[in-house]
Chains A and B, each alone.
Chain A
Amino acid sequence: DSGVTQTPKHLITATGQRVTLRCSPRSGDLSVYWYQQSLDQGLQFLIQYYNGEERAKGNILERFSAQQFPDLHSELNLSSLELGDSALYFCASSPYDRTQYFGPGTRLTVL
């Protein structure tokens, strides 16, 4: 158990819908990262937050947005969902030493 929690575990929704994925980092970790993992793309970095502020952006679509709240939990919002958005979404948190601790992931299926 990494200490990072993600909810929900599974999410099934339809094209065009909007969903919110939630992540609680390990106690004391200020950095939160979001990744998307699909079969043909591997683990793709989406976005990083540090203590509430956006720190780095990767291949995140404009339909996706994220934020980190004062209690350090983070949410990833995915809107106007398409079939190709079906994937595993991971959140990771990191202390100062750059090690990333990954959560169990949310499996999103868009029908």
Chain B
Amino acid sequence: SQKIEQNSEALNIQEGKTATLTCNYTNYSPAYLQWYRQDPGRGPVFLLLIRENEKEKRKERLKVTFDTTLKQSLFHITASQPADSATYLCALGVGTDKLIFGTGTRLQVFP
């Protein structure tokens, strides 16, 4: 069956450290993958998009990798801050602009 798995448990890290979130998928062949941030009770906010032929993408303190052989994406936040605390969702781009979302990983950054 088709599955997208993100760390179901919360990730707790200290301010200043690098947070690494994982997204694994099975039985999908996504043309691209996106990462979103979601705060409680609010809509997801787009962060980064990476295509199947790209290995890595960066934006300020964010870095995403995409390994289509391992069927995995890693999302890194360097020099993390308490304001980075939120739930992070990965989403696979399949079909015609359709996104399939993972269940998300809750990140908590402590001062």
Contact = CB atoms under 8 A, between A and B. Distances in A.
Central interface residue in A44, A55, A100, A107, by most chain B CB within 10 Å: A100
A70 to B, nearest CB: 21
Contact residues of A: prevailing secondary structure: strand
Contacts of B103: 42
A63 interface: no
Contact of B97 (A31, A42, A90): A31
B46 interface: yes
B10 to A, nearest CB: 15
A16 interface: no
A2 to B, nearest CB: 7
Interface string A82-105: 000000101010100111111111
B49 A99 contact: yes
Interface residues of A, number: 28
B11 interface: no
Given A98-B49, A98-B93, A56 B98 contact: yes
Given A92-B43, A103-B43, A98 B95 contact: no
A84 B77 CA distance: 36
Contacts of B96: 48, 55-56
Given A42-B103, A42-B104, A43-B89, A101 B46 contact: yes
A5 to B, nearest CB: 11
Interface string B25-65: 00000001010000001111110010000000000000000
